[in-house]
């Protein structure tokens, strides 16, 4: 037999349904040939699946042995995937066509038409089908591939298939029809004819009837299989499933042990439409229930109540009070049944006490009779609940009627009344989710006291969505309208089942929505369910109104924004991937909140069945209860929401709460005054306006009026007259301390007053600062003054204040700061510390750490830089430069540092610079600035550095300018200078060498006067006269203040000429003589012997001229300016310090004036002095510092008869300000008058 024939043979032996499904897969293109042998006997395919993405199929025809990975093949030995592969091979002819088929290029040939004279009427086929089947057998399609028909019908017609064709049997308009899948075919086409001919001529039975029966059985089996179920031994499909066609849909209705199993989509619709839909009505959810604990009453009663229940309408008709003679056991009424006209009926047994129940029944009846549409169910629910409370031991009966009209109650007979054995309220709706063999079940129950959990079933009758009659003898009042609404839907179907295959969707779409509304007991071990603790974040109380009541609903906010009404018993869930996560509610935290709220009013009871507390508006405002209650809630940390939504209160229900908080700075009190009525804050300006118009109330944003306390009206008035109000903050100067006394008393804020007193006392005398032990990780012997400095720094650290360490250069500021870092790390090792310094000082810090604290883990964030916050946190100390700190501020300000130390902090003196603006954004617990010259030019530099170390120390730059800077610089006011110095004294520590280093050798400072040559003098005079005339003209045109930059330009040019005319670029200028250069060479070569020398100049070009002369004269030297990188800088310093042959160090004043330790030198030459001696002192102190053993000689080189000499004279006249604040230089430039400038250029 040929391979082609073998393929067709095997295809023909497959059941029609499998064959049809395989053809559908092939037609849809859901398969691909992946391998075949040239011999044409072995083939492999990938076929799309449902459970798995693809199944691997192997076909072997020699011998015949096929395989598929699907479960059907393993169970039955045949499947639709193998059928699809056989269909695939049918259209192929030989190896060449297999290859083309694998590339999806099928051979197309025209189809041959059936002779019309042989056409067959389809009715012959459909007749028996129509008479023997039902519509419910639904549509199905029989797919017969044309190639198969070609073999079977070849004796009648010769044809070649054009494409795959399916002929289907369809139900339409009450009849069966044959339909062809080829859209180009018309009714009774050739394909239909082939099908009919095959069935009528080659089958003994009607094939369609066989296929229908087979499809019916297969369809039901598929439903079970797809649901993950199977028949048990002895079971028949018809015992578990009913099948119906509803519209165009086929519906399966499980029964028996499968009752409740259905598609998740159907369950979701039923759940949300019938069970959960109604509870979203807020009025029903908020049905008022009378709270209170049920007290047991041992007294017996002979009155009774009859519940008239309308069976047809499922409603409560009325409640009728009756009386009668009880039986001997006093368990029921036995005779003499009469209507009870009044609860005070004298015939009642003494102590019957049904007055409250009697009147509650009358109220119930007024709604039950008049409210036919049941628009007042919430109120009726409230009344019925109160009725249950009032009649716990009264006999109750049920009288059932079929109509709203019933006979006179006087005609009642005891025999017509059914006694109620049990009456119970607070019956809660609960669910259980558990596994039953291969099914997972969610069942609903009522939790009762007498019967425990009762499964919701048809044995229950629900009246007016609140009363449940069970077994005819029990009457239950559902706990809430929410639960009653859900129960009305559950009575239709209270069981939900699913299989393992549909479990994930069931949990997400059915179980989770139920669990979020009601308590669900979940059996352990069910897949896709996980349990997790959840952290409570806040206790809350929500207020709302319903009719004449205000409801108070306690809630807890859990992490993740999940909020729970603590008086409702349900789960807190979320869906995470495939799992339902059930969070464990913190019952202790929730119960604490309920107890807090219940304690606020005697009408609130913890054991109430409702999901909220409630009060009438009258009770709410009685005795200003709400003011006291909300104050208590705030004190207990409970946030209240919804107060602004209460529409029936005209005035704010809150008393004015005035909160005064202080932020004490050295100079003033920043006082925040918050006025609030509940959650509504009042702007301080609105309070001021009210006081200005002599009004005692302010209008609040919610439209209500807030009453200002009488005692605060006078306080506010005085404050507004004496202090500045800026955006809700009152700034009170320390000079006006009485204003603080007027605002609050010491009794009201004792801690504030005590803090102020204590801090004042400690700040006024630093001698009392505690002696701190030197940290163990510091390998250095601190000098006495350095130990005092550490004590002071530690004092600031303990109080969280910043400060400026302003010791003279050479006194070891770095070592003191390093000691503070070690001390901080001993107590707070978890956070890094940041040191910011000029680039040139980074290697100096590195050397100091390695020498004195080698155990510190440090990182230099320069060159090699981090880009992750976590990387910084791995180090104890981070060293970086000002430039890098500015560039990386977005990264650095994400880190909380312990200490931030700014070395040479004059680098941040400019308030408007990017450097200053960036660094104040850094986050540090304590900030320390270090500078030998915190004020170089003006007092604004002090403000800038104080702003860095103690933000908010001064009120603001405008206030600082008005109170201090302008007056000091303009008038040299000694009182203001003294006041400012006194204010900042506790936060600035400055010691000079003369004070603390008495063992240092002498330092001699002299002026070295130089005489210009005639040529140099001529150039100088020409430029002097030119600038003098130019400046006088500018003064007349623009004034002195706007001419400052021209003055500075002129002075700079004249100073450069004093150094050497070669520093000036002017066409025709050829003079090269330099008196200073000649004098310096003379000193270096003839007057200093073998001493080492430092030469400083502000002008790099001047240093280059000196360097040129040194090269010419073979003088060994080192050179350093702003272009020298850190590594080279270190090498140059080391060579100068250690190499005796290297005698001179040429240094740019700006680049090397700070951070260098050059104690091997003892001669210093300042080539071009300026009128800020602080900068020059820094340069001199490169060698006059600890470690210096020789006397130091410093020379300032001055050209006689020039601006340099006049600057010195002017400096001497104004020197009283040079040490005005902290003993440093000042901003002389801004103090020059026009007369001073004219003198300089004369």
Structure tokens at 1040: 């002195």
Separation of alpha carbons 133 and 792, rounded Å: 104
CA 652 to chain CA mean position, Å: 34
Q: What is the pLDDT of residues 1199-1235, one digit of tens each?
A: 988 988 888 776 665 444 435 545 433 344 445 566 6
pLDDT at 897 over 90: yes
- The torsion region of residue 970 among left (phi > 0), alpha (psi -120 to 50) and beta comes to alpha
- Asked if pLDDT for residue 768 goes beyond 50, the answer is yes
pLDDT at 183: 61
How many residues in total does the chain contain? 1242
What share of the chain has pLDDT > 70, as a percent? 70
Termini Cα distance of the chain: 128
Side-chain-facing half-sphere of 1028: CA atoms under 13 Å: 14
Q: Which has the higher per-residue pLDDT, 1227 or 1005? A: 1005
The larger pLDDT score, comparing residue 235 to residue 1060, is at 1060
| Token pair listed for 949 | 């170390």
- Residues of 751-784 as b/e, b for ≥16 C-beta within 10 angstroms? ebbeebeeeeeebeeeeebeebeebebbebebbe
**Domain positions in the chain:** 3-102, 117-213, 279-288+300-507, 534-645, 665-763, 769-993, 1003-1240
**Which whole number is the average pLDDT over 672-684?**
82
Which pLDDT tens digit goes with each residue over 7-34? 888 888 888 878 888 888 888 778 877 7
The whole-number pLDDT of residue 1220 equals 52
Among the ranges given (106-120, 541-555, 717-731, 1221-1235), the one the predictor scored with the smallest mean pLDDT? 106-120
Token pair 């990938």 is found at 46
Q: Which range is most confident: 314-318, 688-692, 1119-1123, 1185-1189?
A: 1119-1123
Distances (CA, A) of 401 to 102, 172, 311, 412: 77, 48, 6, 12
Over residues 1019-1050, the pLDDT tens digits come to 999 998 888 888 888 777 777 777 778 888 88
Residue 432 phi/psi, 5° resolution? Answer: -130, 140
Q: What is the pLDDT of residue 391?
A: 78
Residues contacting residue 95 through CB under 8 Å, at least 6 positions apart: 38, 40
Sign of the dihedral defined by the CA atoms of residues 1225, 1229, 1234, 1235, in that order: positive
What's residue 741's pLDDT? 59
d(C-alpha 1156, C-alpha 1094), whole Å: 11
Alpha helices, DSSP H, located in 1153-1202 = 1173-1180
Task: With beta carbons less than 8 A apart as the criterion, state whether 724 and 670 touch.
Answer: no
pLDDT at 494 over 60: yes
CA–CA separation, 1158 and 1181 (whole Å): 9
Among 131-140, 294-303, 724-733, the minimum mean pLDDT is found in 131-140
Which residue would you say has higher pLDDT here, 768 or 908? 908
Identify the residue with better confidence: 1138 or 69.
1138
Q: How far apart are CA 1019 and CA 1054, in angstroms?
A: 9
3-state helix/strand/coil string of 613-634:
EEEEHHHHHHHHHHHHHHHHHH
Superfamily of domain covering 769-993:
Tandem AAA-ATPase domain (3.40.50.10810)
Residue 1057 has pLDDT above 60, yes or no: yes
pLDDT interval class at 485 (50, 70, 90): confident
Tens-digit pLDDT profile for residues 495-542: 888 888 888 888 888 888 888 888 898 888 888 888 888 889 999 998
Among the residue ranges 402-411, 913-922, 947-956, the one predicted with the least confidence is 402-411
With a cut of 90, say whether residue 1144 has pLDDT above it: yes
Dist. CA 556–CA 550, nearest whole Å: 20
Reported as a single tens digit per residue, the pLDDT across 330-355 is 778 887 778 887 777 767 775 555 77
More confident residue, 1064 or 689: 1064
Question: 514: helix, coil or strand?
Answer: helix
Q: How far is CA 531 from the centre of its chain?
A: 23
Chain centroid offset of residue 1187 CA: 56
Helices 1100-1112 and 1075-1082 cross at an angle (nearest 10°) of 50
Write out pLDDT tens, residues 175-224: 555 666 666 666 666 666 666 665 554 444 455 555 555 555 666 766 66
Instruction: Count CB neighbours of 172 within 10 A.
Output: 9
The pLDDT tens digits for 367-380 are: 777 666 666 677 77
Q: Measure the CA–CA gap between 612 and 566, rounded to whole angstroms.
A: 9
User: For residue range 1118-1134, what is the model confidence (pLDDT) as tens digits?
Assistant: 999 888 887 888 899 89
The larger pLDDT score, comparing residue 433 to residue 1174, is at: 433
**Tens digits of residue pLDDT in 1078-1116:** 989 988 988 788 889 999 999 999 999 999 999 999 999
Whether 154 shows a pLDDT value over 60: the answer reads no
Asked whether the beta carbons of 698 and 715 are under 8 A apart, the reply is no
As a whole number of angstroms, the distance between CA 589 and CA 534 comes to 12
pLDDT tens, residue by residue, 926-980: 999 998 777 767 778 888 888 898 876 665 676 677 667 777 777 777 777 776 7
Task: Among 199-208, 427-436, 630-639, 990-999, name the one with the lowest average pLDDT.
Answer: 199-208
CA 575 to CA 530: how far, in whole Å? Answer: 10
pLDDT of residue 251: 58
pLDDT reported for residue 289: 38
Which pLDDT belongs to residue 117?
Answer: 44
**What is the distance between the alpha carbons of residues 1216 and 1239, in angstroms, rounded to a whole number?**
20
Mean pLDDT across 763-780: 76
At 818, the pLDDT band (50, 70, 90 cuts) reads: very high
- CA–CA distance, 648 with 656 (Å, rounded to integer): 19
> What is the number of alpha carbons within 13 Å of residue 944 lying toward its C-beta?
25
Name the token pair of 886: 């500015």
Number of neighbours of residue 1219 by Cβ within 10 angstroms: 12
Q: Which long-range contacts (CB under 8 A, 24 or more apart) does 1207-1214 make?
A: 1207/1169, 1207/1170, 1207/1171, 1207/1240, 1208/1007, 1208/1169, 1208/1171, 1210/1171, 1210/1236, 1210/1239, 1210/1240, 1211/1171, 1211/1173
The predicted-structure confidence for 168-184, as pLDDT tens digits, reads as follows 555 555 455 566 666 66
Mean pLDDT value across residues 798-819: 86
The per-residue pLDDT of the chain, averaged, comes to 75
306-329 pLDDT, tens digit per residue, is: 888 887 778 888 888 888 888 877
For residue 712, what pLDDT is reported?
75
Q: Of the CATH numbers 3.30.2000.20, 3.50.50.60, 3.40.50.300, 3.20.20.10, which one belongs to the domain with range 1003-1240?
A: 3.40.50.300
Q: Is the pLDDT of residue 597 over 50?
A: yes
User: Looking at the predicted structure, is the pLDDT value of residue 1077 above 90?
Assistant: yes
DSSP class of residue 288 equals -
> What percent of the chain stands above pLDDT 90?
14
Phi and psi angles of residue 951, each rounded to the nearest 5 degrees, phi first: -55, 135
Judged by average pLDDT, the poorest of 716-725, 847-856, 876-885, 987-996 is: 716-725
Helices (H) and strands (E) in the chain, counts: 45, 50
pLDDT value at 554 more than 50? yes
215/1179: higher pLDDT: 1179
Q: Do domains 769-993 and 1003-1240 have the same CATH topology?
A: yes
More confident residue, 115 or 1188: 1188
Statement: residue 660 has pLDDT above 80 = no
| pLDDT (average), residues 565-572 | 79
Q: Is 449 exposed, middle or buried (0-12, 13-18, 19+ CB in 10 A)?
A: exposed
């Amino acid at each position: 037999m040929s391979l082609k024939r073998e393929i067709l043979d095997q295809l023909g032996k497959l059941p029609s349904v499998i064959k049809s499904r395989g053809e559908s897969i092939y037609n849809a293109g859901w398969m691909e040939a992946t391998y075949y042998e040239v011999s044409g006997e072995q083939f492999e395919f990938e076929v799309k699946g449902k459970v798995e993405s693809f199944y691997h199929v192997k076909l072997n025809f020699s011998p015949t042995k096929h395989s598929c990975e699907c479960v059907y093949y393993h169970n039955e030995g045949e499947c639709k995937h193998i059928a699809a592969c056989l269909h695939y091979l049918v259209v192929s002819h030989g190896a060449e066509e297999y290859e083309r088929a694998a590339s999806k290029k099928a051979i197309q040939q025209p189809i041959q038409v059936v002779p019309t004279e042989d056409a067959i009427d389809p009715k012959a086929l459909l007749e028996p089908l129509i008479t023997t089947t039902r519509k419910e057998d639904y549509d199905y399609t029989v797919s017969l591939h044309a190639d198969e028909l070609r073999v079977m019908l070849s004796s009648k017609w010769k044809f070649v298939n054009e494409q795959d064709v399916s002929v289907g049997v369809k139900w339409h308009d009450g009849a069966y029809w044959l339909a062809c899948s080829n859209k180009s075919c018309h009714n009774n086409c050739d394909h239909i004819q082939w099908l009919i001919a095959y069935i009528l001529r080659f089958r003994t039975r009607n094939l369609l009837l066989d296929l229908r029966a087979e499809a019916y059985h297969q369809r039901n089996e598929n439903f079970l299989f797809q649901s993950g179920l199977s028949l048990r031994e002895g079971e028949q499909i018809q015992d578990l499933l009913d099948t119906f066609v509803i519209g165009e849909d086929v519906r399966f209705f499980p029964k028996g042990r499968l009752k409740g199993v259905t598609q998740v989509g159907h369950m979701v619709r039923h759940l949300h439409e019938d069970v959960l839909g109604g509870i979203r009505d807020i009025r029903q959810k908020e049905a008022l229930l009378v709270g209170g604990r049920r007290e047991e009453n041992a007294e017996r009663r002979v009155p009774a109540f009859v519940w008239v229940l309308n069976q047809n309408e499922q409603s409560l008709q009325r409640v009728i009070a009756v009386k009668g003679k009880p039986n001997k056991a006093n368990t029921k009424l036995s005779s003499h049944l009469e209507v009870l006209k009044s609860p005070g009926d004298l015939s009642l047994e003494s102590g019957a006490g049904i007055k409250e129940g009697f009147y509650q029944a009358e109220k119930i009846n007024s709604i039950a009779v008049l409210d036919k549409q049941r628009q007042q169910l919430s109120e009726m629910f409230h009344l019925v609940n109160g009725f249950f409370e009032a009649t716990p031991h009264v006999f109750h009966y049920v009288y059932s009627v079929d109509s709203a009209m019933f006979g006179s109650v006087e005609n009642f007979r005891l025999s017509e009344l059914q006694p109620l054995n049990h009456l119970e309220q607070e019956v809660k709706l609960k669910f259980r989710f558990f596994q039953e063999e291969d099914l997972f079940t969610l069942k609903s129950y009522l939790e009762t006291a007498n019967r425990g959990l009762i499964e919701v079933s048809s044995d229950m009758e629900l009246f007016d969505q609140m009363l449940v009659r069970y077994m005819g003898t029990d009457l239950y009042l559902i706990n809430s309208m929410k639960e009653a609404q859900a129960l009305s839907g559950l009575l239709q179907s209270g069981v939900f089942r699913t299989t393992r295959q549909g479990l994930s969707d069931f949990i997400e779409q059915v179980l989770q929505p139920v669990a979020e509304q009601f308590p669900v007991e979940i059996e352990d071990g069910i897949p896709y369910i996980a349990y997790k603790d959840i952290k409570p974040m806040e206790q809350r109380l929500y207020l709302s109104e319903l009719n004449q009541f205000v409801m108070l609903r306690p809630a807890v906010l859990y992490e993740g924004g999940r909020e729970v009404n603590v008086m409702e018993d349900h789960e807190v869930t979320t869906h995470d991937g495939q799992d339902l996560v059930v969070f464990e509610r913190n019952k202790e935290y929730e119960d604490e909140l309920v107890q807090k709220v219940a304690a606020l009013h005697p009408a609130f009871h913890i054991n109430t069945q409702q999901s909220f507390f409630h009060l009438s508006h009258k009770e709410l405002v009685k005795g200003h209860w709400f003011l006291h209650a909300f104050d208590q809630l705030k004190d207990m940390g409970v946030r209240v929401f919804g107060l602004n939504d209460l529409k029936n209160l005209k005035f704010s229900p809150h008393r004015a709460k005035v909160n005064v908080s202080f932020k004490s700075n050295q100079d003033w009190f920043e006082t925040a005054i918050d006025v609030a009525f509940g959650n509504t804050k009042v702007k301080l300006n609105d309070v001021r306006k009210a006081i200005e118009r002599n009004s005692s109330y302010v209008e609040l944003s919610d439209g209500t009026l807030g009453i200002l306390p009488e005692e605060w009206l006078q306080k506010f008035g005085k404050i507004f007259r004496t202090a500045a109000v800026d955006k809700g903050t009152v700034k009170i100067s320390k000079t006006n301390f009485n204003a603080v006394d007027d605002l609050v008393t010491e009794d009201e804020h004792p801690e504030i007053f005590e803090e102020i007193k204590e801090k004042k006392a400690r700040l006024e005398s630093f001698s009392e600062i505690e002696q701190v032990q030197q940290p163990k990780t510091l390998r250095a012997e601190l000098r006495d003054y350095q130990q005092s400095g550490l004590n002071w720094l530690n004092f600031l650290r303990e109080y969280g204040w910043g400060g400026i360490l302003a010791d003279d250069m050479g006194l070891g500021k770095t070592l003191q700061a390093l000691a503070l870092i070690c001390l901080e790390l001993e107590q707070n090792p978890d956070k890094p510390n940041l040191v910011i310094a000029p680039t040139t000082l980074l290697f100096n810090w590195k050397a100091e750490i390695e020498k004195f604290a080698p155990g510190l883990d440090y990182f230099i964030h320069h060159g090699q830089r981090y880009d992750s916050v976590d990387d910084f946190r791995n180090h104890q100390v981070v060293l970086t430069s000002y430039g890098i700190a500015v560039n990386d501020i977005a990264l650095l300000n994400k880190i909380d540092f312990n200490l931030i130390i700014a070395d040479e902090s004059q680098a941040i003196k400019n308030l408007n610079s990017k450097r200053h603006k960036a660094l104040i954004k850094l986050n540090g617990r304590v900030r320390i600035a270090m500078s030998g010259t915190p004020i170089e030019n003006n007092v604004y530099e002090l403000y800038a550095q104080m702003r860095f170390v103690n933000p908010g120390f001064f009120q603001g730059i405008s206030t600082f300018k008005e109170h201090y800077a302008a007056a000091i610089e303009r008038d040299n006011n000694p009182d203001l200078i003294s006041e400012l110095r006194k204010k900042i004294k506790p936060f600035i520590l400055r010691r000079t060498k003369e004070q603390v280093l008495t063992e240092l050798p002498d330092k001699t400072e002299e002026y070295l006067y130089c005489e210009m040559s005639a040529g140099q003098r001529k150039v100088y005079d020409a430029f002097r006269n030119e600038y003098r005339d130019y400046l006088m003209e500018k003064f007349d045109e623009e004034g002195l203040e706007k001419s400052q930059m021209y003055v500075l330009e002129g002075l700079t040019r004249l100073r450069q000429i004093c150094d050497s005319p070669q520093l000036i670029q002017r066409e025709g200028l050829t003079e090269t003589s330099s008196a200073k250069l000649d004098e310096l060479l003379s000193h270096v070569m003839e007057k200093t012997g073998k001493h080492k020398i430092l030469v400083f100049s502000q002008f790099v070009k001047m240093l280059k001229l000196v360097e040129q002369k040194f090269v010419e004269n073979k003088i060994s030297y080192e050179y350093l300016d702003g272009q020298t990188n850190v590594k080279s800088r270190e090498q140059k310093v080391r060579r100068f310090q250690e190499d005796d042959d290297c005698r001179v160090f040429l240094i740019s004043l700006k680049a090397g004036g700070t951070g260098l330790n050059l104690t091997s030198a003892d001669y210093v030459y300042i080539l071009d002095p300026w009128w800020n001696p602080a900068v020059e002192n820094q340069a001199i102190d490169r060698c006059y510092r600890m470690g210096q053993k020789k006397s130091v000689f410093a020379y300032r080189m001055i050209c006689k008869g020039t601006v340099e000499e006049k600057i010195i004279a002017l400096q001497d006249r104004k020197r009283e300000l040079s040490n005005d604040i902290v003993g440093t230089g000042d901003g002389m430039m801004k103090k020059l008058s026009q007369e001073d400038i004219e003198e300089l250029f004369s």
